[in-house]
Structure 1
Amino acid sequence: MKICFHLVVWACLCSYFHASAGIITGTVLDHQKQPVEFATITLLKATDSSLVKGEFTDQSGTFVFEQVNEGNYIVTVAGIGFETHSIKEVALNSNILQVKLDTITLMPITNELNEVTVVAERPMIQHEHDKMILNISESSIAAGGSVMDALGKAPGVMVDQDGNISLRGKQGVLVMIDDKPTYLSPEQLANQLRAMPADAVSKIEVITNPSARYDAEGNAGIINIVTKKDKNLGLNGSATAGLEHSTAGWSPEAGINLNYRVKK
């Protein structure tokens, strides 16, 4: 009887936490009613316009935001050659946890000015060849948070409460730092990313279709954390292995020491 009671309580708790996370979906078309692929979709908090999550549209022009907490949001849509479109007052609450937005139509940019001043500004989220990039440097994402916090905002990346990382719902993600595999256990990696400050990172690259040489290690995709360039900064450490002798005999011992050095 006691076991049954515990199971019922656990099921109720799981249902509660599962129900508190919502989904926002939508479709993006151009003015000729054709799907717009790789349009940048950003989900912002309505209160302060801070980034919650970024995504890209697929071949059908569709995008999905999953595991979205209850609250009020703004959705912005941007595509190369199109005017940016914003949707305000997108709300999730206990009564509405699944929102399907009306079809979003992007209009082409028209040049009406004879003289235009161009200011080069790197977008927060961009698509480049085979990768999606979250630019952290000099953005609000870098303020006070960890790299683990920033990862949760990268396109297609999900981080659960235990620090397990998945890419578009798939486990087995290869996490690299400055193009080098970390070779850490999931627990060690989670601890390391929580210890790394986000302001030490320049960008996070997400590769959903890695080349053949990464298939064995990162069959779900690759996340490459690119740090700011400074020879005195970055991830470093050492590993030791050997034998220890005691009254009980010989026993193996091993250890690993990792740290991340930042400016003071």
Structure 2
Amino acid sequence: MPGSRDLDPSSSPRALLGAELRHAREKAGLSQEDLGQRLFVSGSFIGQLEAGTRRMQVEYARLLDEVLGTEDFFQRNCGAAAKSKYPEHFAEAAEAEARATAIREFASMLIPGLLQTPAYARAVCRAYQPTAPDEEIEKRVAARMERTHILDDPTKPLLWAVIDESALRRMTGGAAVMAEALRHITDLARRSRSIVQVLPFDAGAHPAMQGCVKLMDFDDAPPLAYLEGVGTGRLDDDPATVAEYRFYYEFLAASALSPKKSLALLEGMAQDYDHEEHA
């Protein structure tokens, strides 16, 4: 069983906790499916805990200690692994996003977080919390901008975003902020750090009209789907459900403008916002 020491919160506690879980499970002679059955979860869920793509909740930590005979090791350490700078409903998705090898996202009402500029993010955060102190807004903006550093790597993850035209037409933060935001997206696309498609108004009705969906693939864990609403979010690892949302995403991508035409539209809209600002 794992030693009696606590995990060091400064050294990727979730990854360390996952490694300890894999070690304890294998020492007990259990497969991921075997352990999942005893916790009433799927084997893929155990795999995601071991890979660090899912957060270990207290109730699962208690059951793991009972099943694996690890005294209170997981209960003591799951708190350190659960600490996050992100809102509770999004924390697990943000941490999974940082480990993903491919991210496919459909955004219906706003530019995806990974593609946002600080000014755009500030306007969005202020709209979410109109009465919050400036310090709180700046903390949220800083956390969102920190997420975008995963695009600093020149090769991974693959980021493929389909953005509804309404998100680009909605004036968020003013014309200058929108012009900067759209140019930032086109710059990322031209540097091959993202694939961006615009779903135009004339595409009509589509299967994701009621919200946003993010699909994440990993080298060492099953894929995840993240669904987000107002102040809520849910990660789903059920293979059939993930496959269904993947079909929705592929349908949206097929209905959207090509990357080349999308880029031209984004650049034209940025110019329009510039003219509006000057006027």
When normalised by structure 2's length, the TM-score is: 0.24
State the structure with more CA Rg: 1
Where relative contact order (Cα < 8 A, 6+ residues apart) is larger, the structure is 2
Q: Which structure shows the higher helix fraction? A: 2
